Structure 1
Amino acid sequence: MPWETMDSEMTLHAPGAEGSHEKRSRSAEGSVESPTPRSADAVEKQETPAEGTPSAPPDHLQHVYPEGSLRGWLTVAGAWLCLVCTFGYTNAYGVYQSYYVQTMLPSSSTSAISWIGSLQLFFLFAMGLPTGRLFDAGYFRHMMFAGMVIMVGCLFAQSAAQYDQYYQVFLSQAVGQGIGGGLLYLPAISIISHYFQKRRALAIGIVQSGSSTGGVVFPILLNNLFVNVGYVWAVRITGFIMLGLLAAANILAAPRLAPKKDHPKPDLRRFCTDPPYISAVLGMFLVWWGLFYPFFYIQLFASSHGLSDSYAFYTIAIINAASMLGRTLPNFFADKTGIMPLLVPSTAISGILLLILVACTNMSGVTVFCVLFGLFSGAFISLMAPMFAVMSDHVFEIGIRFGFAIFIMSFAGLTGTPITGALVGNSPPYTWYKPCVFAGVCMLGGTALLTFSWVTLGRKKGQIMV
């Protein structure tokens, strides 16, 4: 009675009875399959798993996903709102970066200011390790509520920060909001795996589009509020918006599977000796090192090349608007073609675009870059979680696999933008070719490791379209 991995349909088949009907007991959320009786000969012929191979979970852990349902799609909506307020809001940090450099924190260097956004990004993903374990243990609702309280509370604390007081902004925005967002981000992504298997990539792509939506709305909102009502009330209004959105997310999103005390416990040592997984994690680390350079610096890049402030304000929004398409359309095809055939080329193209950004010095060039980079980097971001789900051996392993991966990646997010900030320089005239080369080479190096992961995963699964 073979155990089929995460990219299978997770059903039980009687050996030699292909095409026969499985017995199923129906529930309100989907169908749960009962095993088909096996003959004594079939039991005797069953192969013993090789040493080191994870044992098959007991029958009651094998189930059929509802592939949606009203509750499932409401959970998608709640998770989407979480991504708007976490990753989407973080994608708007370029607005803060520009405002802090030019107005709020004149005594701080460009690189020091970028540490605020990079540490916020670090906590958003570094929290994946503890939240992955807590999610698998059944603490989804606890993390959702705690994340909302911390995130909103720290936004109001940020609004009270005084002029040129770096540490006040650092503690409230980088540390506080980073931890609050980290409590929300991974659970919001992982909960989708309770409802979807065949259409998981599409569902996660829809959820990930929330980060693009937030990345479009918040830059426009903040830029206009800074001009019309000032920094203090701009941040406060953002806090009130966050409170409403996250309260709705807490109501809509709900776990489907109760935690199982007898499910196989994840083994980090086994993860670290799994070639497809560990090479993917290392590849993601390199990609993460260069990925957020445009999100932090494209507005300053446009302004420093003589483009109008009214146009520069919208550059981050353009990237995220294009990313919205990139985070949904590839996921629709990924459920049919596999994850890696789309993820690897998207990552490579994103790296090439970063290398040629230095030549985009006029409005048309910057606009084309923003659209294309948003499209292909969005595909990479949305396909990341389905890739780690495919590598998992069972549903109760997804949280910790994804959490461990983004924990490692968070260190790249922590250091990547300060490195590019140091390469840009502290005052005009800024140097732009150095950070473009650094970010582009990092992403292309990550692409090489992801290609190796694709090949080894294909061999493991017995097919290249994974």
Structure 2
Amino acid sequence: MGFESDETFSQEKDDTPNMQSLVPPSDGFREGGYGWVCVACTFLMNAHTWGINAYLNETQAYGVFLAFYLSSDIFPGTSSLEYAFVGGLSISCAMLIAPLATYLCHRLSHRFVLNVGTLLEALSLIASSFVKANWQLFLSQGACFGFGMGLCFCGSVGITSHWFKKRRSLVNGIASSGSGIGGLVYSLAVGKMIPEFGFPWAMRTLGILCFVINLTCANLLRIPSYSAIAAKASPFRLSIILRLDYLLLLGWAFLSALGYVVLLFSLPSFSIAIGLTQQQGSLASALLNLGQAIGRPAVGLLSDHYGRVHVALIASLLTGILSLVLWTFVESLGLTYFFSIAVGLFAGTLLAAAAPLAAEVVGLQDLGTALGMLWFILCPPTTVAEAIALQLRGSSTESKSYLRVQLFVGFMYIGSALCLAFLWFELRRKRTLALS
């Protein structure tokens, strides 16, 4: 029923002579091997990029960082909307640099891109401990961290796909679950570090940890030699963006990103709005991260067995339904926690499924270009998503002050599911034509 992991019906012919000689036949492909080291390294890098960013966004929304900034009055006149743009800026900068990161991986090496990204991210966290003005915060915790995260992410996200075929979605799910684990661990650990060591040293410690772990992983990651040669020989084609199946993939990613960032940003403050404490709101966010850590590998495993497009479609649809049917009625602690972990199982499918789905649509040889353009397209929605969430909120006197936010998240995910439904029909049509 589902599409298999080979790309025989979706991959365009390559114009480069002798390209097929660079890729071993399918019966000679060795699944895994050193690829499992790459899975572990990508997992850790996701924990120390997206996982750290999830923690930063959570605390910027309502918690430790915002309380510190306001109580110390180091940024007089800075509004909560401006703080929201710091989190959005980091994600949008990561997306903005994606085409450059992809090009540098293609022309130079993944290792170069990963090492530069590691350096920028560590510098941004350490520099954040010295900020004295809001523009410095935007540059350090926003732009610099985002560029570093983007280089690390774009340099590592496609590597595991070169080592696996049958379990490609599973290993990408395992690797991407690192962001959920990282967000969970650091939301608890740094929350304890700030009272013990103070905000500046907590940030410096975080920067040092990220530097050591990401630097180690960056220099352990590599792709198989035949894939590396093929990547160097294949052209950097932007023409794939004109293909209908790829445009549908971009539509799914665009709408998913809008819904995901708004959900991630809004859940902790929603918890406080319905009467929970700040600590309970933080735990709700931690449970969302836990749900992602469990859900991404599970979605990957199911994708390898039942079809990557099918499972991603169902995950997107379930996220939308949970937001519209369950979240809109949440008013108690228990239901908040249940929703957090339930929606976490499916909401973060984008980061886990993007690489396998892109390989399904364009093939491995164009995977780098496809992913680079996909992440770049996500720059606008990730820039404005948190600001949209703030503007959609009603006043604190309204009984359903988050209703518009909840409806927005639900409809974005349902729209993304529709894009995948059309993508499934398009891939099926192309497969039928290839077999006829």
- Coarse TM-score class (shorter-chain normalised): 0.7 to 0.9
The alignment status of 1:129 with 2:93, answered yes or no, reads no
Q: TM-score, normalised by structure 1?
A: 0.82
TM-superposed CA distance for 1:276, in Å, is 1.2
The alignment status of 1:78 with 2:41, answered yes or no, reads yes
Q: Deviations for 1:75-121, whole angstroms, at most 9, x for unmatched residues?
A: 22111111111111122221232134444147333222111111111
The alignment status of 1:68 with 2:37, answered yes or no, reads no
2:365: which partner in 1?
396
Q: Deviations for 1:410-432, whole angstroms, at most 9, x for unmatched residues?
A: 22111111111122269787931
* Matched ranges for 1:352-431 at <5 A: 352-355=321-324, 356-393=326-363, 395-424=364-393, 431=401
Q: Deviations for 1:158-185, whole angstroms, at most 9, x for unmatched residues?
A: 01123xx321211101100000011100
Q: Is the 8 A contact 1:123 1:178 kept in 2?
A: yes
The alignment status of 1:218 with 2:186, answered yes or no, reads yes
2:143: which partner in 1?
175
Q: Which structure 1 residue ranges, 5 or more long, are not aligned?
A: 11-51
Distance change >3 Å, CA 240–CA 201, structure 1 → 2:
same
User: What is the RMSD of the two structures over their aligned residues, measured on CA atoms?
Assistant: 2.4
TM-superposed CA distance for 1:228, in Å, is 3.3
TM-superposed CA distance for 1:402, in Å, is 1.0
Work out which of the residue numbers 288, 291, 295 in structure 1 matches 2:264: 295
Q: Is the 8 A contact 2:231 2:365 kept in 1?
A: no
The alignment status of 1:432 with 2:402, answered yes or no, reads yes
Distance change >3 Å, CA 194–CA 310, structure 1 → 2:
same
1:146: which partner in 2?
116
Work out which of the residue numbers 162, 174, 198 in structure 1 matches 2:166: 198
TM-superposed CA distance for 1:388, in Å, is 0.6
1:97: which partner in 2?
61
Distance change >3 Å, CA 65–CA 87, structure 1 → 2:
farther
Work out which of the residue numbers 7, 13, 25 in structure 1 matches 2:5: 7
Q: Is the 8 A contact 1:77 1:252 kept in 2?
A: no
AA of the residue aligned to 2:21: H
**CA distance in 2 between partners of 1:6 and 1:375 (Å):** 23
**CA distance in 2 between partners of 1:274 and 1:111 (Å):** 38
Distance change >3 Å, CA 261–CA 322, structure 1 → 2:
closer
* Matched ranges for 1:39-50 at <5 A: none
Q: Which structure 2 residue ranges, 5 or more long, are not aligned?
A: 71-75
- State, as a whole percentage, how many aligned pairs show the same letter: 24
The aligned length equals 413
86-95 vs 105-114, greater mean Cα deviation? 105-114
Secondary structure of the corresponding residue to residue 190 of structure 1? coil
AA of the residue aligned to 1:87: W
The alignment status of 1:267 with 2:240, answered yes or no, reads no
Secondary structure of the corresponding residue to residue 141 of structure 1? helix
406-415 vs 372-381, greater mean Cα deviation? 372-381
AA of the residue aligned to 1:8: D
Tell which structure's C-alpha radius of gyration is larger. 1
1:237: which partner in 2?
205
Which has more helix, going by share of residues? 2
